[in-house]
Amino acid sequence: MSAGDKLRDEILGFQKAQFELIRWKLIATGATIITAFSGTNAQQLSWLAFTILPVVVVYCDLISRDYDIRIALIAFFLQRQGGEYGAYEEFLREPGVSRSRPWLLGNTAMRMSSAIVCILVILLGLQPKLIFGNNIRLETNYIPVVAGFAGILLLFLIEQHSREAYERISNMTANSSSQLLDKTSQHT
């Protein structure tokens, strides 16, 4: 098995892990919500469940973005090496294909679902009567609000870091291509 095939298998492994991560994100979110809305009178447990919900979804997004960056690095390496995988990477960077942004929908769904969860946690913290009725102490409802805002802030920081990482990879790709063109023109 060639190095290119091994790296391709590694990309497929990261993609499979991302799929599993999305599934576990949904399961963990559902389980946390069920715990929060359980029929018990343990209001503190419900608040705790709502408070950890942003942590769960943001952690899944963090790991998913890490996988995306690793995949992009492997793709950059394969493109630089040339061959059939390099040709595929070149195809993906063609203006018509790159403008269509083929992975936009999945990435947006992953990020927006977490933002929506954080916003819902904030709203539920601001309106605890929706969940617990009138039997709630006012000071406990700010904990999920803070957790929701912290989740949104972390999502923003993760997105910013990812964009910077993609920009560095893109710059490496551009520098690599220009160096290759320079070497080719020197030989002719």
> Residue 52 contacts by C-beta under 8 Å, 6 or more apart in sequence?
32, 147
- For residues 43 and 67, the model is more confident at 67
- For residues 4 and 45, the model is more confident at 4
pLDDT of residue 124: 82
Does residue 102 carry a pLDDT above 70?
no
Instruction: At 68, list the tokens.
Output: 């995306």
The total number of structural domains in the chain stands at: 1
Reduce the DSSP state of residue 1 to 3 states and report it: coil
| Interatomic CA distance for residues 134 and 98, integer angstroms | 53
pLDDT grade for 180, boundaries at 50, 70 and 90: very low
Contact 111, 23 (CB under 8 A): no
pLDDT in tens, 25-37: 999 999 888 887 7
pLDDT of residue 71: 85
- Domain span at residue 166 reads 3-187
Contact 125, 148 (CB under 8 A): yes
Residue 82 Rama label (left phi>0; alpha psi -120 to 50; beta): left
pLDDT grade for 181, boundaries at 50, 70 and 90: very low
Percentage of residues of the chain with pLDDT beyond 70: 71
pLDDT grade for 173, boundaries at 50, 70 and 90: low
Per-range mean pLDDT, top range of 2-16, 18-32, 65-79, 98-112: 18-32
Average pLDDT over residues 150-161: 94
pLDDT of residue 3: 74
Average pLDDT over residues 55-76: 89
| Interatomic CA distance for residues 45 and 131, integer angstroms | 13
What is the three-state SS of 119-183? HHHHHHHHCCHHHHCCCCCHHHHHHHHHHHHHHHHHHHHHHHHHHHHHHHHHHHHHHHHHHHHHH
pLDDT in tens, 52-63: 999 999 999 999
Mean pLDDT score across all residues of the chain: 78
Average pLDDT over residues 171-182: 61
pLDDT of residue 40: 57
Does residue 152 carry a pLDDT above 90?
yes
